[in-house]
Structure 1
Amino acid sequence: MDYNKLKQWLDLAQNMNGGDFWTSVFDQEFAKQFMEQSGAGPGGASPFPSNPFQQNEQEERHVKSFPPVDIFEANHEVVVIIELPGIRKEEVQLGIKGNILTIRGEARHLQDPSNMTYSERFYGQFNRQITLPDSVLAEQIKAKFWNGILFVSYQRQINDGAQIPID
């Protein structure tokens, strides 16, 4: 098995689940609920909720992956695009430690939520960790906020190697 491909897959799985991939895989309560809903558990319930608007485990996991992220890698640059609809730049904090980029903030209601009859948007505090392909220092990162999209980029430090003299 190709170790690099396995590592890429694990990194992707971590990013997609907000860093909690293995926790969600081995979460016994989730497995129990799945078995009950699939008909294998007591009562033989349908795998689909009777109320399609009911919040379920999948929707709760969606919260862990907010905000949505795209990562683009080139030989000399990495660009991360983070969607933050309805969120102001002042409501977002960005940090880096090694190769972990952390974004946190709060998505607030744009209207009075007491009159809301249906919603698919995420509201509340968020804290997401994104694994970058390289370790980066804060001063190497550029971040620009435009129309609800945060662009984070850095130049890769390419080490082409050097000749080592032998004594």
Structure 2
Amino acid sequence: MDKLLRWRDLAQKMHGRDFWSAVFDSPQTKDFMSSFLKTFDAESNYPRADVYQKETEIVVLIEIPGIRKEDVQLTVTGDRLQIKGTVHPPYPKHTNVTTERFYGPFERTIQLPEIVQKEGVSAKFVNGLLEVRLPRDLKATATSINIE
């Protein structure tokens, strides 16, 4: 610890008293720290999801144990699947002693590998997972664009 304190003092002598403020208060550092901390924020990645693809469809498995289907809304727009809902505590009249699970409203947009067809989309609960099946748009073709 003494070495770290000496290094801090040396850096302040060489770069001035506001050296660390300039480093940690810069907009770039704040943006970096904000995005870095979001990767460890459980709520920003809730609910967790896996995306699978095969020739005719994309399957998204979403972990939402203990949630009723009435408390979940799904929306497909282009190549994005949005899930919104609310996780209700199982014992609302009890006092919480320890809480490790997430409760409350949530919203997440899941990036799909490509634009999907809106017709034929289905969703169902399977073994504690929400399974969303999205037909791939196999008719999508490249379009030539003339340059003027």
Shorter-chain TM band: 0.5 to 0.7
- 1:65 maps to which of 24, 45, 56: 45
* In structure 2, distance between residues paired with 1:27 and 1:128: 26
Identity of aligned residues (%): 37
How far apart, CA to CA, are the structure 1 residues paired with 2:29 and 2:94? Answer: 34
One of 66, 79, 82 as aligned partner of 2:59: 79
* Count of residues paired in the alignment: 113
* Alignment pair present for 1:106 and 2:86: yes
How far apart in 1 are the matches of 2:98 and 2:135?
Answer: 43
Q: Which position in structure 2 is the counterpart of 1:120?
A: 100
Map 1:26-45 to 2 at 5 A.
28=30, 31=33
Deviation sequence 1:123-154 (CA, Å, 0-9, x none): 01000000111212432311112343211012
Equivalent pair of 1:96/1:137 in contact (CA under 8 Å): no
Runs of 5+ unmatched residues, structure 1: 1-25, 35-56, 162-167
The answer to whether the aligner puts 1:151 opposite 2:131 as a matched pair is yes
Distance 1:77 1:27, change over 3 A: farther
| Residue type of the alignment partner of 1:65 | N
Structure with max Cα Rg:
2
TM-score (normalised: structure 2): 0.64
Change (3 A) 1:28 1:77: same
